[in-house]
Amino acid sequence: MTGVLTGVLTGVLAVATTLAAGPVAAAPGDPTDSVSGLLTRLRTLYQETERATEAYNAADEALKKQTADTRRTDAELTTARQALARGRDEAGRLARQQYQGRSELSPYLGLLLAPDPRRALDQEHLLARAARERAGVVTRLQAAEKKADALATASRKALDQRKALLAGRQKQKDTVRTRLREVERLLASLTADQLARLASLEKAQTAGAQNQLLGSGALDGPRTPSEDGAEALRFAVRQIGKPYEWGAEGPETYDCSGLTQRAWAAAGRELPRTSQEQWAELPRVPLDRLRPGDLVVYFPEATHVALYLGDGLVVHAPRPGARVKVSPIAANPLLGAVRPDPDGGALKTFTPPELPAGATDGADEGYGGAGPADGIPPADTEA
């Protein structure tokens, strides 16, 4: 079985490499090759868009954490400055007392001049305690100044990092917008006949890849999810029909990794934000052990992710212009799969969630929807 799976994945990755290489040259007068080139070009643009989208998601997540760190550092700095101000007030009070002659005499001189030696010894004890208090004030003041200086430096550094993250996020947003505009121009240039043949070719290629995978026997046999996996699947199925929007994490719109993250969050499991992080950080699972609820990851750079539904199907947010839907597992070039809950045992029985009408409708490439512009979020606002 391992050899068969290796062969399947090798074939799938070969397809992915071809898609990433760019458009296929069309033979003059050959409409099939022309549509094949269009489909390849469209897929390449979408893959580049997803790559930029996941980079944007990573930058956005880092920005959220950095913003929280900046706020925490600023709060600590405010507290430190307040403590420093109190220390300076206390030190100033002691200095004024000494300047006004209200500070104590030397304990030795006081002892020599005192008519009552016992009373003088008591006064010496009080004076020694006052001296220790003064020394404590100075020590606390020095510590407060040092802490405030360190926090001020950290605050400036955090602000600089936040500005850099904002710039990086904006750069990725611009890249996504550029790629989506290219998709819009490409789709706008196509005739109704070309779009129909494009859909037919995509369907045929997906069917071929799906038949190859299912024919390998990798997904044979009954599969049941864990309890958490079942809950994640139920959540994902409830999102079917909601629009794709890059950078979105719900509840009304999603991108691919936003959907998988929120689905597993509904089951009480926190996942990394991006598809690359989910692929890198979660335990791998071979296809012959794939169970519903596991995450299926696509393309060599792990730029797309879906939830395995079972029976060779996945639930995912495919592309701008598309909606959350059910697709064949081989609708995109497979990279592998990961399991968010490796410690969760498979349920003995499982009834898959009922799919809504039209759950499998629409092209995964997004051109069957209202258009890529629908996947563009509103103008950026500083977090």
Residue 337 contacts residue 297 (beta carbons within 8 Å) = yes
- Is 180 a member of any domain? yes
Give the SS3 label for residue 74.
Answer: helix
Give the model's pLDDT for residue 341.
Answer: 96
- Is 122 a member of any domain? no
- Predicted confidence (pLDDT) at residue 173 exceeds the cutoff of 90: no
Q: Per-residue pLDDT tens for 99-128?
A: 555 544 445 445 445 555 555 555 555 555
- Is 380 a member of any domain? no
- Is 93 a member of any domain? no
Q: Which of 83, 200, 69 is closest to 146 using CA atoms?
A: 83
Question: Which residue type is seen at 236?
Answer: A
Rounded to 10 degrees, what is the CA torsion of 294, 295, 296, 300? Answer: -140
Residue that is written with structure tokens 């979020």 in the block = 377
Is residue 325 very low, low, confident or very high in pLDDT (cuts 50, 70, 90)? very high
- Is 378 a member of any domain? no
Give the model's pLDDT for residue 373.
Answer: 45
Whole-prediction pTM value?
Answer: 0.64
Give the highest mean pLDDT range of 56-60, 115-119, 205-209, 266-270. 266-270
Active centre residues (catalytic): 256, 304, 316
Give the model's pLDDT for residue 367.
Answer: 57
Query: Running DSSP on this structure, what letter comes out for residue 287?
Result: G
- Is 161 a member of any domain? no
Residue 269's domain comprises 2-70+171-373
Q: Which of 137, 129, 135, 149 is closest to 88 using CA atoms?
A: 137
Q: What Cα–Cα distance (Å) separates residue 348 from each residue in 125, 212, 223, 225?
A: 78, 29, 10, 9
Is residue 79 very low, low, confident or very high in pLDDT (cuts 50, 70, 90)? confident
When divided into structural domains, the chain yields a total of 1
- Is 199 a member of any domain? yes
Is residue 280 very low, low, confident or very high in pLDDT (cuts 50, 70, 90)? very high
Instruction: Classify residue 297 by burial, with Cβ atoms within 10 Å: 0-12, 13-18, 19+.
Output: buried
Q: What percent of the chain shows pLDDT beyond 90?
A: 34
Give the model's pLDDT for residue 17.
Answer: 37
Give the model's pLDDT for residue 93.
Answer: 64
What CATH number is attached to the domain comprising 286? 3.90.1720.10
For residues 6-15, give the mean pLDDT. 39
- Predicted confidence (pLDDT) at residue 299 exceeds the cutoff of 80: yes
The set of residues, in sequence order, having a beta carbon less than 8 Å from that of 257 and lying 6+ positions away, is 54, 57, 273, 274, 275, 278, 305
- Predicted confidence (pLDDT) at residue 12 exceeds the cutoff of 70: no
Q: Which of 318, 317, 320, 21 is closest to 186 using CA atoms?
A: 320
Q: Which carries the bigger pLDDT value, residue 342 or residue 112?
A: 342
Q: Which carries the bigger pLDDT value, residue 354 or residue 48?
A: 354
- Is 278 a member of any domain? yes
Q: How far apart are CA 309 and CA 219, in angstroms?
A: 12
Kindly report whether the peptide bond that precedes residue 251 is cis, defined as omega within 30 degrees of 0: yes
Is residue 243 very low, low, confident or very high in pLDDT (cuts 50, 70, 90)? very high
Give the highest mean pLDDT range of 34-38, 218-222, 265-269. 265-269
